[in-house]
């Protein structure tokens, strides 16, 4: 009977906690649906540029399901490669196939290299690819705009991972800590003082920001200098993006804590808020999923941070390459902070 009483009490708690019941049902279905849409998308089609190639090779590339774009000069193809409009371009230099890869994504590099090798295999010298007298094609020579043949998957994913870890832990710690300020009565006492609500929000952001900034520096420094992750651009820009990501996560976490009454309810936001951002952060290729789903990337702060970090660490981009991401992250932080001020105006004792 006593065990039965415990079972009944827990069952009643779940039944009356509609948020928990929804989490048990909706969150797994949401995550599984996202996994299905991401992993079960169309096969990635390499984007190949050509510079005055024989028609036979161009036709074979198109037949291999590649997106082929013809360019008149090497300079124009180089510009398209630098702007990430294509994954690689191919040209003939003294009868040898020269392939230049964009290089920042090892998975795309492998797809392009496999496609090129299959396309050129068996091409006779008379078709425009120099070869021996028996008609066997010479293997293409690969060059890299960014990275190298030794670039590892960790080098490609580490910019996304450090942004993800910084965002996730700051979001969680800030949300739970701010929630405790509310439930313990500290926030209510502050609201009773002459302090204005925007001053309270700015004070909390600055106070928490000191420690989140330290965490961002440690994560970035450990990844680059201890783990040896590829670092081409300025480490100062990496720190700037990490700090902005932490500030965005800090303001976002404190905002969502206004809609939670317990630490457990705060943690319930993770599968709804954090997990979708992981799928659309750049860890998985978004070009193979349905276009109607890609719009989600435009509202996920982590995507902007990951793009900027990857541009700095792998492609060596400067301010012009990351300016838009910086402005978006700063704007999102301000929006969340203003929303925090509005949320405090409706604050009531729990």
Secondary structure of residue 201 in the 3-state scheme: helix
Confidence (pLDDT) at 322:
93
Q: Over range 120-148, report the average pLDDT.
A: 61
Looking at the fold, whether 162 and 140 belong to one and the same domain comes out as: no
Looking at the fold, whether 192 and 334 belong to one and the same domain comes out as: yes
In a domain, 115, yes or no: yes
Distances (CA, A) of 8 to 15, 20, 262, 263: 10, 17, 22, 23
Q: Which two structure tokens, joined as six digits, stand for 343?
A: 């949320």
Last residue of a domain, one of 100, 116, 144: 144
Q: Which two structure tokens, joined as six digits, stand for 184?
A: 């313990």
Confidence (pLDDT) at 133:
41
In a domain, 26, yes or no: no
- Structure-model confidence comparison of residues 102 and 130, the more confident one: 102
User: Which phi and psi angles does 90 have, rounded to 5°?
Assistant: -125, 140
Looking at the fold, whether 137 and 191 belong to one and the same domain comes out as: no
Q: Over range 274-279, report the average pLDDT.
A: 84
Confidence (pLDDT) at 242:
93
In a domain, 108, yes or no: yes
Confidence (pLDDT) at 129:
46
Last residue of a domain, one of 94, 115, 144: 144
Alpha carbon distance 104, 87 (integer Å) = 9
Closest by Cα among 169, 25, 173, 48 to 116: 48
- When computed from its CA atoms, the radius of gyration of the chain, rounded to whole angstroms, is 26
In a domain, 341, yes or no: yes
Q: Over range 47-53, report the average pLDDT.
A: 88
Q: Over range 103-123, report the average pLDDT.
A: 79
Secondary structure of residue 338 in the 3-state scheme: helix
Instruction: Assign residue 88 the CATH number of its domain.
Output: 3.40.190
Alpha carbon distance 114, 132 (integer Å) = 22
Alpha carbon distance 145, 315 (integer Å) = 8
In a domain, 24, yes or no: no
Look at the chain and report how many structural domains it folds into.
Answer: 2
User: Which phi and psi angles does 143 have, rounded to 5°?
Assistant: -125, 165
Confidence (pLDDT) at 124:
44
Confidence (pLDDT) at 14:
65
pTM: 0.80
Confidence (pLDDT) at 23:
66
pLDDT tens digits for range 161-173: 999 988 988 888 8
Looking at the fold, whether 210 and 326 belong to one and the same domain comes out as: yes
Alpha carbon distance 187, 178 (integer Å) = 9
Long-range contacts of 333-336 (CB under 8 A, 24+ apart): 333/244, 333/247, 333/248, 333/251, 336/248, 336/251, 336/252, 336/254, 336/255
Looking at the fold, whether 91 and 192 belong to one and the same domain comes out as: no
- Structure-model confidence comparison of residues 139 and 87, the more confident one: 87
Confidence (pLDDT) at 206:
85
Confidence (pLDDT) at 41:
63
Last residue of a domain, one of 119, 144, 169: 144
128 has pLDDT over 50? no
137 has pLDDT over 60? no
Looking at the fold, whether 134 and 195 belong to one and the same domain comes out as: no
**E strand or H helix at 255, and its extent?**
helix 235-257
Looking at the fold, whether 256 and 306 belong to one and the same domain comes out as: yes
The lowest-confidence range among 11-25, 73-87, 99-113, 121-135 is 121-135
Q: Over range 219-232, report the average pLDDT.
A: 90
Q: Give the distance, in angstroms, between the CA of residue 174 and the centroid of all CA atoms in the same chain.
A: 21
Torsional sign, CA 180, 185, 188, 189? negative
Closest by Cα among 120, 83, 118, 90 to 104: 83
Closest by Cα among 145, 164, 118 to 270: 164
Confidence (pLDDT) at 134:
47
Q: Do the beta carbons of residue 205 and residue 337 sit within 8 Å?
A: yes
Name residues whose C-beta falls within 8 Å of residue 273's C-beta, 6 or more positions apart in sequence: 171, 252, 256
| Domain span including residue 137 | 47-144
349 has pLDDT over 60? no
- Structure-model confidence comparison of residues 285 and 259, the more confident one: 259
pLDDT tens digits for range 183-221: 777 777 777 777 788 888 888 888 888 888 888 889 999
Looking at the fold, whether 334 and 200 belong to one and the same domain comes out as: yes
Q: Which two structure tokens, joined as six digits, stand for 349?
A: 């004792």
Looking at the fold, whether 161 and 139 belong to one and the same domain comes out as: no
Q: Which of 42-56, 77-91, 181-195 has the highest mean pLDDT?
A: 77-91
pLDDT tens digits for range 285-306: 777 676 677 777 788 899 999 9
How does the average pLDDT of the chain come out, rounded? 81
């Amino acid at each position: 009977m006593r065990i039965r009483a415990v079972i009944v009490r827990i069952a009643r708690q779940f039944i009356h906690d509609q948020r928990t019941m929804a989490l048990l049902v909706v969150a797994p279905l949401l995550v599984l649906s996202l996994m299905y849409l991401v992993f079960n998308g169309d096969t990635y089609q390499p984007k190949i540029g050509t510079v005055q190639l024989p028609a036979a090779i161009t036709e074979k590339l198109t037949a291999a399901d590649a997106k082929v774009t013809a360019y008149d000069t090497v300079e124009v193809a180089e510009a398209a490669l630098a702007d990430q409009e294509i994954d690689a371009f191919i040209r003939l230099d003294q009868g040898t196939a020269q392939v230049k890869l964009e290089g920042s994504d090892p998975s795309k590099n492998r797809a392009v290299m496999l496609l090129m090798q299959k396309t050129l295999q068996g091409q006779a010298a008379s078709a425009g690819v120099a070869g021996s007298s028996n008609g066997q094609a010479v293997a293409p020579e690969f060059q890299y705009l960014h990275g190298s043949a030794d670039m590892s998957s960790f080098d490609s994913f580490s910019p996304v991972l450090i942004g993800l870890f910084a965002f996730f832990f700051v979001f969680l710690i800030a949300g739970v800590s701010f929630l405790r300020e509310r439930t313990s009565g500290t926030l209510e006492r502050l609201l009773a003082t002459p302090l204005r609500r925007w001053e309270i929000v700015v004070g909390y952001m600055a106070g928490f920001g000191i420690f989140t900034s330290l965490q961002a520096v440690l994560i970035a420094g450990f990844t680059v200098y201890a783990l040896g992750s590829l670092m081409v651009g300025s480490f100062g820009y990496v720190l700037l993006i990490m700090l902005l990501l932490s500030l965005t996560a800090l303001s976002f976490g404190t905002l969502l804590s206004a809609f939670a009454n317990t630490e457990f309810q705060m943690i319930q936001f993770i599968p709804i808020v954090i997990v979708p951002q992981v799928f659309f952060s750049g860890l998985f290729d978004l070009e193979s999923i349905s276009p109607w789903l890609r719009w989600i990337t435009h509202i996920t702060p982590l995507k902007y941070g990951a793009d900027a970090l990857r541009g700095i660490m792998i492609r060596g981009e400067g301010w012009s390459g990351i300016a838009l991401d910086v402005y978006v992250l700063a704007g999102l932080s301000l929006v969340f902070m203003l929303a925090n001020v509005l949320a405090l105006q409706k604050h009531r004792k729990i």
